[in-house]
Structure 1
Amino acid sequence: MGLNLTRRRFFEGAAALGALALVSGCAPKALEEEKEQQSQAQQDEVIDIDALEVKYSWCYMCGSCKTICATKNYVKDGKFAFVEGNPEAGNNWGYGCKTLCAKGNTAMQTVYDPTRIEYPMKRVGEKGEGKFERCTWDEALEGLAARLLENREKYGPWTYAALSPQGGSTVNSVGRRFLNVYGSPNYLHSAICQEQITSSRYITLGTSANPYPVQLKKTKLLVNWGVNGENADVNNTNDRANPVRRFDAMEEGLEFIDIRPMLDPLAAHAAEWVPVRPGTDLALALAILNVLVEEDLYDHEFCETWCNGFDKFADHVKQFPPSWAAPITGISEEQITRISQKIGTVKPMGLMYGNSAGDQSNDGNWLCCCINMIAAITGNLDVPGGGGAGMKMPEALFEVGKIKTLKDRLPVYDEDTENGWAASRSKLVAPEFPRWYQNPDDEALDLWPKEPSSAYNGGLQSILTEKPYPLKSVFAHNTNPLSQTRQPQIIAEALKKLDLFYVMDTHWNPSCNYADYVFPACTRYEASAQIGTRNMEEGTFICIEQQVVEPLGESRSDWQFYCDLAVKMGWEADFWDGDFDGCLREQLEGSGFELEELREKGYVFVERTDGARASEPEYQNYEKLFKGLPNGKVQLYNELIGGKPNNREDGELTFLPEYVGPPEGLSETPELADEYPLIFTDVHAHRLSVHSYFSSLPYLRERNRKPWVKINPATAKKYGIEDGDWMRIESPHGWIKMVAEYFEGISPEVIMGKRGWWQECEELGEPGYDCFDGGSEVNALYDATVENFDPFHAGMAKQTLVKISKLEGGE
């Protein structure tokens, strides 16, 4: 039996087992506990799946509006009872697959979670007190609209901002439309997201080239740099990070190098595990580039023809040998040299890098650029099995339109015109990227992102500093700013001072206590408001969310909320006369589908009958790939950004990479390390939660009970801490409590936790934990000095130095 089939059966069996346990209304438990708490009748209950009503939708569990996995949802007696993947959607392992991950199998529990918000609420106490009273939708919307219009007139439209923790479809489409009609460019993006990684790639390789191997079975060496596939991609279509596909490629001869501070499961199968100190990845990347150049392991023809400023670059990296990087990164000179030589000689080679490497350090832009440079100078761009070069998919059999954001409604100010900036860029409160870079009209380069954005943390800090001006109105949509970004105590003070703050969410997160209005959001299983498509060799798939069950309480669709608020503000003409169905019909124009037809069927799969299949692309078309970059070449010496203002406008960006390192580090701040001798960081994604959400769901919380921190047993014993003990973890910025979890696959100088423990789980009797000092929110430990954020894409350090001790008394 092949390795692929073995693992596929394991995952499908595990998914089915978890889902069936949920049908009976309880989460899976250890056998003895199950015998104690369930009757024999419950244990023996059998449900005839074929007799249940079926509704179709997209899975909600990797983000509120993503269309990654399409689902079949079974309803029994009006209740959401069971879920599985839609086999015609091409999920996970392709056409015919029904599996969902652990999160996907908890869909029913999200709907019936007892901690859901069910009614609109308005504040009656002081901000932060958490005193609210129930009100009607009309009362809340009218009150909110009046204050938004008043603040727009009194302070200017630019003083309004919307928080976006990730590129969620709602906030990024109809949410942006609302911002643009209001007249504000201040979409506050997290700077902990794919946009950081993407922008760094674009300024190095352009918009079409990338180092990620797409034909993984042809790849001989994969460098996995900070990608957490075991958690982020365990059951989706990502060829590079999906564990099963990685194992399939290993059967074809793939070996991989895993660069991560913790030995996660896939790293155990690597040819080399490189446990780099958190926050020092750029030093490692520079040392690898040094070896590639000094040992003549680069592709001379490619570098001479297609690399901008190779000679300047080669001379620059001479100052970063492995002997320089070793004491910074904690990796030996010998290992740095060894992996560099392998990277330079094994072909085809591909690199994949994730959030933990690219956007969660204060020199993350240059790190991402350097990773792309490694792929480029070794001649591994756009070759089969190397970076990019994916098979060409047959054209989709139909298309669905995108929601127009009305970005032309943003005002153009004199300062925009004088500086050659795009509309309203002069009014960005905390530019996530430099103002000059946020230029959607640069068609030659096709820069990213396409619409304006300010940095989430810096924008909120403006409320306190009043620099360049204070925001006055902020909308938190499906995000908890007290867990989303650094230093929740500072964020809480900003929310207290904010003139108008309103929230829409499924759960009462800690930031709600500071809101003026709180609105109850539906899960996607309670509304029919989003369309998604997928194109594959077998055909093209389209699915709309069918309403699976009635909304809980008075909760409403996020999409419809914007229409309702727009009507109260007098903007119904810009929001489909207040009916979001108008937007759906607009998206379907030209597709051949009518909204009513699609809603009735749920999904349609149009089979490909012309015999077309994926075909080989045109390889190594570098003139086309690098079009738009300065001199039409890979930017080793970066003339696109070099010498131009940074995002803070307090200095210029450099032409060549410079190592900065974390604000607190063992080698960077040795005097601080005397008192705080350990490095703390946290995982970006986790298979049993989505950022800081879903700890309230029994099925997931049961396997993720307490706020944990991975610690090497030798380190723990040095401080008298046993496995399972509560620990006090203190940085120069604050302190938290977490439960020690012994794990030998982590360096003795590093401990690693997970953010987001504010939700309680009533069914299991597990509490939620505070976001401030003495709680369990890891962001309380990190630096929030704006001057320390990445000067190009506003990435923030996700590591600090800490001291630890056993916490007597535990919880």
Structure 2
Amino acid sequence: MEHGLTRRKFLGAAAALGALALSTGCAPKAMEEQEEGQAQSEVVDIDSLEVKHSWCYMCGPAKTFCATRNYMKDGKWVHVEGNPEAGNNWGYGSKTLCAKGNAAMQTLYNPARLEYPMKRTGEKGEGKFERCSWEEALGAIASKLLENREKYGPESYAALSPQECKFVGQMGRRFLNVYGSPNYLHSAICVMQIMSSQHVSIGKATTTTPLQMDKTKLLVSWGVNGENSAVNNIMDARPVERLDAMENGLEFIDIRPMLDPLASHAAEWVPIRPGTDLALALAVLNVLVTEDLYDHDFCENWCNGFEEFAEHVKQFPPSWASPITGISEEQIEKIARMMGTAKPMGIQYGNGAGDQANDGSWLCICINLIEAITGNLDVPGGGGAPLLVGPPLIDIESLNWIPTLPEKLPVYEEDTENGWAPSRSRLVAPEFPRWYQDPETWSSLGLFREPSSATYRALMSVLTEEPYPLKSVFAHATNPLSQTRQPQKIAEALKKLDFYFVMDTFWNPSCDYADYVLPACTRFEDSCQIDGRNMPEGTFIGIEQKLAEPLGESRSDWRFYCDLAVEMGFGEDFWNGDFDQALREQLEPTGISLEELREKGYVFVERTDGATPTEPSYQNYDQIFSMLPNGKVQCYNEILGGKPNNRDDGELGYLPEYQGPPEGLAETPDLAAEYPLIFSDVHAHRMSVHSYFSNLPYMRERNRKPWAKINPATAKKYGIEDGEWMKIESPHGWIKMVAEYFEGVSPEVIMGKRGWWQDCQELDEPGYGCLDGGSEVNALYDATMTNFDPFHSAMAKQTLVKISKWEG
């Protein structure tokens, strides 16, 4: 049977998908076309309904940004809202959820859900599978993993990580460590790149982001996609807080290629060419130095090698950066002077900047140095400098982390000889240099303090067999054909890979190459995740209460690792298969039992002493920079300089150098003659989670076709009307997307969105392939591994393209 998927109609009445319209007042087409005699809608008093509590997972497979109240009618989940005592979204008292949060019910009651374990019966890539039992699947997977460990060594196994995901980052890590492999495969396009660049420049104890934005005079928003990645979330770009601060006089500069809604409020919108941000950052630093706009006292006392750095950036004036970035010299000078004179000034920077550029590490470092040398670190309204909240009223420190047992990793002779942490010598494709991946020093990455390999380079080892080929890979809640660059090459690797298994809630295109596909239940079908939050108003602890029984034979992602570990003989390190014991250990310091928390759903302890957030002492630079060389901000970077890069084929520099995109109008003019336009994408979007949830009617009806925003003048030049399909070709592949006219994008730039592989049966909308001829933007991008960032492995998120009207 092809895929073995069972297409089911939505469960009976409107209640199954919230067609009571309790929150939106509208229903998707599928809910409007109910069987004859079924009520289209009904008025229900929600206060009469049973309420259960959970965490929303619509921003990621295991995120705990928003706690929810979930209303049940006749055993069906019909309405959701934020828990006002959890302090999510707009703060304590808020019930709001974003569009994704309001669509959560459609993940539970979705006809495309995986229900049963499947095993491959055809060739890899054919998509031919048949149903099997869990016992058979677990036995076969365990047997193959044990066989390959014996034949090829434990490092031959790797786990693919989705976006930040606690069940992979904790239970998956624990399994890797017990198995003996360091190869946790991270995308190299998200968060760790930003964090690492901050750590090696200004340290871990502060940030460029202002944590008292109500006191900020100037905010620089650099590559931040807050309308999409954090539209209703105070944890990230905080757009609501920004708009509130604007009423008190905040101005902001928005640096990104497309005029999204927040940019329309900016004092300066800087429509930079994708991939050229480092040129702009160097030119800003040039102006700050040459026009004497830096803080002399700070630079003299707290900057390592400032004189060498200042001399270095003099070679990057606005006249040099302008033809590279597409930004006028006048605007570069203007924004640099704003940054150098406005105090306090803070900088938010996001995935669109340092995480997804070939020279992203130096870009992020330079952004941090702009904040530092202007004297804006750890001052109220400047970078860092939060108000102090009272201590937690319940001990919640252990709630967000299950021990991963890194001490189980083998120590090899090469590790000892080079002073590396255990098993770093066995990383197949170090995401960061081996010397940097040391959990015992300041170079650790917080919760990411364990080893990682970069996904694309690691999977290419299957084809190149350098330095050795991976043999077994587990993809959990992720689609590698949309996660990284060049899905055509990823498909080749998956086809050649000795053993590949997948666990997900939905069938994704990479499943066609799997040996086994396992059905995951949603987090609303089990009770496995606990988290806590401390606020001025009090301390909150929440757990998922089960809203429904797992669909078919689907199982919890968390519990799966216990099942597999027991099958492989690792039971002692996995609570002998009882995941509830792990939860009890997490809760032990709180004094709250698992049974009590599951019964109540959450516990909130109110702060009754009248205490309010207080001012800390500021500018304690001797402490903040204490773990940096010479106790100073690294203008001349002695952490990186002279050390091996992540490919072990060269050394890193002490001072920033512009690399630029692999293909660019200024960088590769001969190529630009044939491919005259720049293509990039938004990475995250408010109607999906990367490449997931296009199959949810509430989301898809507002985001129907694979769109690419294009300036009308550009489209008309090629005879392409608004809403028409166009063929987009790069030197690396081709896709088709629907032209969406938008004047807020440069005539030389096209902006798309990745991830269109899911269909939506309820709206008769198809899915689109991930390979050439589909609509996956990653098919367009360069994947030359020597082009990737030599420190943190970031890859360019842009290329040069040509377009034509699609006649297919």
2:76 corresponding residue in structure 1: 79
Q: 1:303 to 1:352 in 2, by over 3 A?
A: same
1:7 corresponding residue in structure 2: none
Q: Give, in angstroms, the shift of residue 735 of structure 1.
A: 0.2
- TM-score (ref. length: structure 2): 0.96
Out of 195, 202, 218, the residue aligned to residue 215 of structure 2 is: 218
Q: 1:557 to 1:44 in 2, by over 3 A?
A: closer
User: 2: CA distance between counterparts of 1:47 and 1:137?
Assistant: 41
Amino acid at match of 1:653: L
Q: Give, in angstroms, the shift of residue 716 of structure 1.
A: 0.3
Q: Give, in angstroms, the shift of residue 447 of structure 1.
A: 7.0
Q: Give, in angstroms, the shift of residue 533 of structure 1.
A: 0.6
Q: Answer whether contact 1:260 1:275 (CA < 8 A) is retained.
A: yes
Q: 1:237 to 1:414 in 2, by over 3 A?
A: same
> CA offsets per residue over residues 684-743 of structure 1, 9 Å max, x none?
210000000000000000000000000000000000000000000000000000000000
Q: Answer whether contact 1:438 1:447 (CA < 8 A) is retained.
A: no
Amino acid at match of 1:266: L
> CA offsets per residue over residues 482-538 of structure 1, 9 Å max, x none?
000000010000001111100000000000000011110011100100001111011
Amino acid at match of 1:162: A
Out of 63, 87, 92, the residue aligned to residue 89 of structure 2 is: 92
SS in structure 1 at match of 2:684: coil
Q: Is the counterpart of residue 308 in structure 1 residue 304 in structure 2?
A: yes
> CA offsets per residue over residues 632-659 of structure 1, 9 Å max, x none?
0000000011010000011100000000
| Equivalent residue runs for 1:30-41 within 5 Å | none
Q: Give, in angstroms, the shift of residue 449 of structure 1.
A: 3.4
Identity %: 73
Unmatched tracts of structure 1, length 5 or more:
1-17
User: 1: CA distance between counterparts of 2:198 and 2:238?
Assistant: 22
Amino acid at match of 1:501: Y
1:118 corresponding residue in structure 2: 115
Give me the CA root mean square deviation: 1.9
Q: Answer whether contact 1:192 1:795 (CA < 8 A) is retained.
A: yes
Moved more, 325-334 or 401-410: 401-410
1:281 corresponding residue in structure 2: 277
Amino acid at match of 1:361: A
Amino acid at match of 1:64: P
| Equivalent residue runs for 1:748-759 within 5 Å | 748-759=747-758
User: 2: CA distance between counterparts of 1:536 and 1:763?
Assistant: 41
Q: Give, in angstroms, the shift of residue 393 of structure 1.
A: 1.2
Q: Is the counterpart of residue 202 in structure 1 residue 199 in structure 2?
A: yes
> CA offsets per residue over residues 511-568 of structure 1, 9 Å max, x none?
0000011110011100100001111011100011100111111111000000000010
Q: Give, in angstroms, the shift of residue 60 of structure 1.
A: 1.1
- TM-score (ref. length: structure 1): 0.95
Q: 1:445 to 1:191 in 2, by over 3 A?
A: closer
User: 2: CA distance between counterparts of 1:283 and 1:143?
Assistant: 52
Amino acid at match of 1:417: T
User: 1: CA distance between counterparts of 2:591 and 2:717?
Assistant: 68
Q: Answer whether contact 2:719 2:805 (CA < 8 A) is retained.
A: yes
1:160 corresponding residue in structure 2: 157
User: 2: CA distance between counterparts of 1:123 and 1:682?
Assistant: 34
SS in structure 2 at match of 1:512: helix
Q: Is the counterpart of residue 248 in structure 1 residue 212 in structure 2?
A: no
Q: Give, in angstroms, the shift of residue 32 of structure 1.
A: 12
Moved more, 393-402 or 243-252: 393-402
Q: Give, in angstroms, the shift of residue 610 of structure 1.
A: 2.5
Out of 370, 374, 383, the residue aligned to residue 374 of structure 1 is: 370
User: 2: CA distance between counterparts of 1:742 and 1:399?
Assistant: 52
Amino acid at match of 1:393: V
SS in structure 2 at match of 1:81: strand
Q: Answer whether contact 1:445 1:629 (CA < 8 A) is retained.
A: no
SS in structure 2 at match of 1:535: strand
Unmatched tracts of structure 2, length 5 or more:
1-14
2:511 corresponding residue in structure 1: 512
2:675 corresponding residue in structure 1: 676
SS in structure 2 at match of 1:763: helix
Q: 1:589 to 1:367 in 2, by over 3 A?
A: same
Q: Answer whether contact 2:21 2:41 (CA < 8 A) is retained.
A: no
Q: Answer whether contact 1:103 1:700 (CA < 8 A) is retained.
A: yes
Amino acid at match of 2:222: W
1:187 corresponding residue in structure 2: 184
Q: Give, in angstroms, the shift of residue 437 of structure 1.
A: 0.3
Amino acid at match of 2:427: L
Q: 1:117 to 1:28 in 2, by over 3 A?
A: farther
Amino acid at match of 2:372: A
1:8 corresponding residue in structure 2: none
1:629 corresponding residue in structure 2: 628
2:101 corresponding residue in structure 1: 104
Amino acid at match of 1:724: G
Q: 1:19 to 1:217 in 2, by over 3 A?
A: farther
Amino acid at match of 2:226: G
Amino acid at match of 2:112: T
> CA offsets per residue over residues 252-282 of structure 1, 9 Å max, x none?
1100000010000000000000000000000
Q: Answer whether contact 2:756 2:767 (CA < 8 A) is retained.
A: yes
Q: Give, in angstroms, the shift of residue 38 of structure 1.
A: 10
Q: 1:715 to 1:152 in 2, by over 3 A?
A: same
User: 2: CA distance between counterparts of 1:330 and 1:448?
Assistant: 38
Q: Answer whether contact 2:430 2:647 (CA < 8 A) is retained.
A: yes
Q: Give, in angstroms, the shift of residue 29 of structure 1.
A: 5.7
Q: 1:22 to 1:105 in 2, by over 3 A?
A: farther
Amino acid at match of 1:47: V
Q: Answer whether contact 2:521 2:551 (CA < 8 A) is retained.
A: yes
Out of 252, 255, 261, the residue aligned to residue 259 of structure 1 is: 255
Q: Is the counterpart of residue 595 in structure 1 residue 594 in structure 2?
A: yes
Q: Answer whether contact 2:200 2:443 (CA < 8 A) is retained.
A: no
Amino acid at match of 2:214: K
Q: Is the counterpart of residue 337 in structure 1 residue 333 in structure 2?
A: yes
Amino acid at match of 1:328: I
User: 1: CA distance between counterparts of 2:252 and 2:17?
Assistant: 36
Amino acid at match of 1:708: W
2:700 corresponding residue in structure 1: 701
Q: 1:754 to 1:678 in 2, by over 3 A?
A: same
SS in structure 2 at match of 1:758: coil
Amino acid at match of 2:303: C
Out of 137, 142, 149, the residue aligned to residue 140 of structure 1 is: 137
1:348 corresponding residue in structure 2: 344
1:69 corresponding residue in structure 2: 66
Amino acid at match of 1:131: K
Q: Give, in angstroms, the shift of residue 615 of structure 1.
A: 0.8
Q: Answer whether contact 1:533 1:542 (CA < 8 A) is retained.
A: yes
> CA offsets per residue over residues 155-179 of structure 1, 9 Å max, x none?
0000100001222111111110000
1:616 corresponding residue in structure 2: 615
Out of 229, 232, 236, the residue aligned to residue 233 of structure 2 is: 236
Q: Answer whether contact 2:18 2:78 (CA < 8 A) is retained.
A: no
- The list of structure 1 runs, each at least 4 consecutive aligned residues, that deviate by more than 3 angstroms after superposition, is 18-44, 443-449
